Structure 1
């Protein structure tokens, strides 16, 4: 039996919209961290463990503006005075931060069925807990509702839940496209790297094309600037997908100023991949868009089943898919 909890239309203000080299939406680790924090509280009271979550975005607004009315956008920053112990107010220097307002729905995967006696209490507890803790560093200002779903038929349950979150867009992992594109680049340029492939998904690129109806003898410099399409079809975006260890695992308390000296410590760097925004009606199985942590060797990544099971691909694209593991994905 599949069991899910729907946190419907969570409105968040001043969430962090910078994730490593990317910006515009919080990293997926924010949402899994939010899920893990809820899971720890539910385990103590109800014995329920949350094993993953699906992220559906309904609305987003990055706090940025154009200073001159044109050109590059810059983040809208605040400059708040500090009150010292002496009672004197001083202004702190500005530290750039990217903020955004967003409305999301989270579909949380539960490892345990909900008994009839605890359902009402579980909904009431989640309604309080989901609004009490922060999401992506932002304050939760509104929650439309909490619903519990259980069914033996996964297809029926998927359709019911995915219709519930319309209109919106579901974020899923498509990092297998990153490896495929890198292999195509290496076939033409042996010096190409995974970074070059990732930038093709991240950057907006234009190239000069000579029009067909232009006489080059009279107009040798006549060109048209044409936007270069992304390496694959779909609403593809660069995302931060987890971390990679860059040091040995130190014993608890061995590293000064660590966040929690009770646990072993390891230095890490962010890992990057490619995600895709899908309309919920294009997702055949809810389990394909549930994000989960997967650890292997030095990698600690957030992935979905769509890394191995591509959605809505043409037959020639399906034939080109290869089975991947986290260590085969050469993140940078």
Structure 2
């Protein structure tokens, strides 16, 4: 990677806020999908290829309201049917958010700095014609193209913000610790320790004293969140056209389920280089996954820290 493309302060309206079992922010697959769609256009026009994508969140607003402890999505009312009855609808979680995207760019940009400015001008309207997480892009500050080694200087212009980083390696580590204490524990138990807010009752010093409820800390420090991180195959790979009602009769087909991991929102001032930001696709025989940079000495050899719920 020699160059980086920065899409600063993208404002998106009515994006999808539901990602599998999680809600509150789009899945990382949405952002890599946006990058892939943009890459296909740049390959035709400039011979460039985009791969990794870094996500920096500045603001988000989920369309939901609270009735006490629980939240409900704020839904739209559809027009009445011809018979004057209420039309049926599917529950959808929507949100507004503002993010900056850092895209990994491969290929030669001709004419040096002049070529970079021309590429940025070309991307300015192009980026806003695509959907992001199903939402419409309503505003975008000036696109920037720079050398990868100069990214740190450009990150100061994206503050305040929080970068989403991959911490799924902690999931496997915590799962192994749970298995040592109880062999019946499953991966979903370890994932819920990161995803759920848990309280535990502490008994009083004397019998009959009222118990006090205390918050149980998550297995690791930081602003940790559950993530949907890709798809995993749960069926054989069927020949093209053999599965009824498939969208594409010319491609092989298989059934898949979402896989989940753990992420951390980390202050942008703590990011030192592009590799700490970027998420990339990782494809295997059983599925495709979105991976960020692993922590030092924790690079996984397989996909054991991802799990699916069938």
TM range (shorter): over 0.9
- d(CA) in 2 for partners of 1:121, 1:127: 10
Partner of 1:74: 72
TM normalised by structure 1 equals: 0.87
**Counterpart mapping for 1:128-277 below 5 A:** 128-150=125-147, 154=149, 157-211=150-204, 214-216=205-207, 220-277=208-265
Look up the SS of the partner of 1:125 in the other structure.
Answer: helix
RMSD across aligned positions (CA): 1.9
Closer/same/farther in 2, CA of residues 190 and 140 from structure 1, 3 Å limit: same
Residues 299 and 327 of structure 1 are in contact (CA less than 8 Å); yes or no, is this contact kept in structure 2? no
- d(CA) in 2 for partners of 1:322, 1:109: 23
Residues 201 and 214 of structure 2 are in contact (CA less than 8 Å); yes or no, is this contact kept in structure 1? yes
- d(CA) in 2 for partners of 1:83, 1:4: 51
TM normalised by structure 2 equals: 0.93
- Aligned-residue offset at 1:328: 2.4
Q: Does 1:104 align with 2:99?
A: yes
- d(CA) in 1 for partners of 2:282, 2:69: 41
Gaps of 5+ in 2: none
Gaps of 5+ in 1: 311-320
The aligned length equals 306
Residues 81 and 90 of structure 1 are in contact (CA less than 8 Å); yes or no, is this contact kept in structure 2? no
- Aligned-residue offset at 1:237: 0.7
Q: Deviations over 1:32-72 (max 9, x none)?
A: 000000001111111111011100000000100124xx231
- Aligned-residue offset at 1:329: 2.2
- d(CA) in 1 for partners of 2:260, 2:142: 33
Q: Deviations over 1:276-324 (max 9, x none)?
A: 111111122221220100012203100011x2x24xxxxxxxxxx5441
